[in-house]
């Protein structure tokens, strides 16, 4: 396993030889060590990306698309190794890690197919000949979180390279090894030196250099709303173009026409992916009063039956929380809800897993939740299902929209008029109707309100890396 960074086509260590340890969150075992890059190395990465930009941008779109397809096919060939690495540094069950690799791969296929959208347009304007050209913005930076180490980078690398930008990736400190494995694949697939660069290390000095360098023209960030705000402020001087994929607090609305069995199946699939450490996980369950008790009982039974464990063990559905801070937050949210009058229906504490670290939280269902509780207002990022009932559609929509976030929202219903209304009134960038997995590579994904702005996926993902230039010609 390689542990170096990639700058200008060279595999490099940090100038001072400093490294960061990567630990398995399930066992605390050492998985690897990566360079802790600093300011000088970051400047060299910008130099390399800026130098490579003209050549990559000038490459025919079909040639760039061929390179992306080659990356996808090499990821397919390397799937089991990549999945094992994701599980080792992130903790999710192996089957989920393999699904993540496939999801990541699909972004390269979709971006390769979308390069045709880079064509010029010629709107008709009387007396003039107009050509609207799409020009790639230049050097792009990607900063990604730990929860989907390989999918999050794919969502940014694929459209940037397809559009003709060059890129510098800074992955999360907890999960940098998947990014290094990806970088190896990119090199083997023929991505030229300097087109894709990778830096690992302490984010503050790296980000400071990237934000201050006027050669950087785009930043795509996925992570917390707090860090998103910080980067937006930091990017103001250079009027940096931003895509911010930030925190979520998705509601799931379960209407009276939902069958309990299918509603619970959908709720389980949406909620417990990556142990609830997913930005689009439902964090608030709103259930019609007529089916509330039956839904809560069935959700609690299904939740309690989930098996926790080390991600490589067979039958495991729930891995560890990523670190001690994360599990402490889950515990604090549960305690706060109970203190404010919630009923603990199942779970509520840690689960001991033999031979593993003490970082596993029981799947937990809390009924009778209200707006005063932290779990109802903040992202818990863990395996907790807070539930409350509603009387009618108006109340359900009002409660669902009562959040500063707006990433995903879910509803379980088959009533066409209601589905139409939900599509226009739920404050979210992604809405799943009876669909626990509305995020796929071919469609736009992103948030509203404090969940950020910008879209990833499909041709919309490429647009984030392109700017429109109007050439207006009047013939003599
Ligand atoms: P985070 O703390 O914001 O970290 C995300 C990335 O930002 C990491 O690479 C981190 O580096 C880096 N970072 C931290 N401080 C920074 C700074 N001062 N300057 C520049 N970069 C900095 O978020 P997280 O805890 O890893 O991820 C969980 C959050 O991501 C949740 O809120 C979740 O909802 C959100 N998320 C959103 C989406 C979406 O599509 N909207 C998808 C997934 C996750 P280090 O790791 O080195 O600290």
Verify that 315 and 300 share a domain, yes or no: yes
Known active-site residue 279: yes
Verify that 398 and 303 share a domain, yes or no: yes
Strands (E), 63-155: 124-125, 128-136, 139-143
Nearest ligand 1 atom, CA 201: 47
Ligand 1 contacts CB of residue 113 (under 6 A):
no
Verify that 238 and 310 share a domain, yes or no: no
How many angstroms is it from 224 CA to the middle of ligand 1?
5
Residue nearest atom 17 of ligand 1, based on CA coordinates: 204
Distance from C-alpha of 301 to C-alpha of 148, rounded to nearest angstrom = 28
Verify that 214 and 317 share a domain, yes or no: no
Residue 185 within a domain: yes
> What domain range is 149 assigned to?
5-246+450-473
Known active-site residue 245: yes
Q: Which of 41, 96, 100, 279 is catalytic?
A: 279
Which residue has 């800074």 as its token pair?
Answer: 170
How many angstroms is it from 169 CA to the middle of ligand 1?
13
- CATH of residue 398: 3.40.309.10
Residue nearest atom 11 of ligand 1, based on CA coordinates: 172
Verify that 274 and 152 share a domain, yes or no: no
β-strand partners of 196: 167
Distance from C-alpha of 142 to C-alpha of 11, rounded to nearest angstrom = 19
Residue 325 within a domain: yes
Residue 445 within a domain: no
Domain count, the chain: 2
**pLDDT by position in tens, the chain (length 476):** 899 999 999 999 999 999 999 999 999 999 999 999 999 999 999 999 999 999 999 999 999 999 999 999 999 999 999 999 999 999 999 999 999 999 999 999 999 999 988 889 999 999 999 999 999 999 999 999 999 999 999 999 999 999 999 999 999 999 999 999 999 999 999 999 999 999 999 999 999 999 999 999 999 999 999 999 999 999 999 999 999 999 999 999 999 999 999 999 999 999 999 999 999 999 999 999 999 999 999 999 999 999 999 999 999 999 999 999 999 999 999 999 999 999 999 999 999 999 999 999 999 999 999 999 999 999 999 999 999 999 999 999 999 999 999 999 999 999 999 999 999 999 999 999 999 999 999 999 999 999 999 999 999 999 999 999 999 999 87
Verify that 233 and 264 share a domain, yes or no: no
From residue 165, how far is each of 126, 198, 298, 441 by CA, in Å? Answer: 34, 15, 49, 19
Counting Cβ atoms within 10 Å, is residue 48 exposed (0-12), middle (13-18) or buried (19+)? buried
How many angstroms is it from 106 CA to the middle of ligand 1?
23
Q: DSSP character for 148?
A: S
Verify that 24 and 100 share a domain, yes or no: yes
Verify that 213 and 301 share a domain, yes or no: no
Verify that 153 and 257 share a domain, yes or no: no
Among 107, 156, 224, the mutation site with the greatest number of ligand 1 atoms within 8 A of its Cβ is 224
Nearest ligand 1 atom, CA 452: 41
- CATH of residue 43: 3.40.605.10
Verify that 220 and 254 share a domain, yes or no: no
Ligand 1 contacts CB of residue 172 (under 6 A):
yes
Residue 259 within a domain: yes
Ligand 1 contacts CB of residue 407 (under 6 A):
yes
pTM: 0.98
Verify that 329 and 434 share a domain, yes or no: yes
Verify that 229 and 296 share a domain, yes or no: no
Half-sphere exposure of residue 335: CA atoms within 13 angstroms, side-chain side: 8
What lies within 8 Å, CB to CB, of 398 at 6+ separation is none
């Amino acid at each position: 396993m390689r542990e170096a960074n990639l700058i200008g086509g060279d595999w490099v260590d940090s100038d001072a030889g400093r490294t960061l340890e990567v630990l398995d969150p399930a066992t605390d075992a050492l998985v690897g060590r990566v360079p802790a890059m600093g300011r000088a190395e970051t400047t060299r990465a910008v130099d390399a990306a800026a130098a490579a930009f003209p050549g990559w941008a000038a490459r025919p779109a079909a040639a760039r698309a061929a390179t992306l397809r080659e990356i996808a096919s090499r990821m397919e060939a390397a799937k089991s190794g990549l999945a094992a690495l994701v599980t080792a540094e992130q903790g999710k069950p192996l089957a989920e890690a393999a699904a993540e690799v496939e999801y990541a791969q699909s972004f390269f296929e979709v971006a390769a197919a979308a390069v045709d959208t880079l064509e010029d347009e010629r709107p008709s304007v009387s007396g003039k000949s107009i050509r609207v050209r799409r020009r790639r913005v230049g050097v792009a930076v990607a900063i990604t979180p730990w929860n989907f180490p390989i999918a999050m980078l794919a969502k940014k690398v694929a459209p940037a390279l397809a559009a003709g930008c060059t890129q510098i990736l800074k992955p999360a400190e907890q999960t940098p090894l998947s990014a290094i494995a990806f970088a190896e694949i990119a090199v083997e697939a023929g991505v030229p030196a300097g087109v894709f660069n990778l830096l690992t290390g302490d984010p503050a000095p790296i980000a400071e250099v990237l934000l201050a360098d006027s050669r950087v023209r785009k930043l795509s960030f996925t992570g917390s709303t707090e860090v998103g705000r910080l980067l937006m402020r930091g990017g103001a001087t250079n009027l940096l173009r931003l895509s911010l994929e930030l925190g979520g607090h998705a509601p799931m609305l379960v209407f009276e026409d939902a069958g309990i069995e299918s509603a619970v199946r959908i709720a389980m699939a949406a909620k417990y992916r990556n142990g609830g450490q997913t930005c689009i996980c439902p964090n608030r369950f709103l259930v019609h009063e007529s089916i509330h008790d039956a839904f809560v009982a069935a959700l609690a039974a299904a939740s309690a039956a989930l098996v926790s464990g080390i991600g490589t063990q067979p039958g495991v559905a729930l891995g560890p929380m990523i670190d001690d801070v994360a599990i402490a937050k889950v515990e604090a949210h549960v305690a706060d809800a109970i203190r404010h009058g919630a009923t603990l229906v199942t779970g509520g504490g840690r689960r001991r897993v033999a031979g593993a670290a003490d970082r596993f939280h029981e799947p937990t269902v809390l009924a009778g939740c209200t707006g005063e509780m932290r779990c109802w207002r903040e992202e818990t990022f863990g395996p907790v299902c807070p539930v409350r009932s509603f009387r009618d559609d108006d109340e359900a929509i009002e409660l669902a929209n009562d959040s500063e976030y707006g990433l995903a929202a879910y509803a379980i219903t088959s009533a066409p008029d209601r589905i139409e209304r939900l599509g226009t009134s739920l404050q979210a960038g992604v809405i799943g109707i009876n669909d626990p997995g509305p995020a796929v590579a071919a469609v736009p994904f992103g948030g509203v309100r404090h969940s950020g702005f910008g879209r990833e996926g499909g041709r919309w993902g490429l647009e984030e890396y392109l700017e429109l230039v109007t050439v207006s010609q009047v013939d003599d």
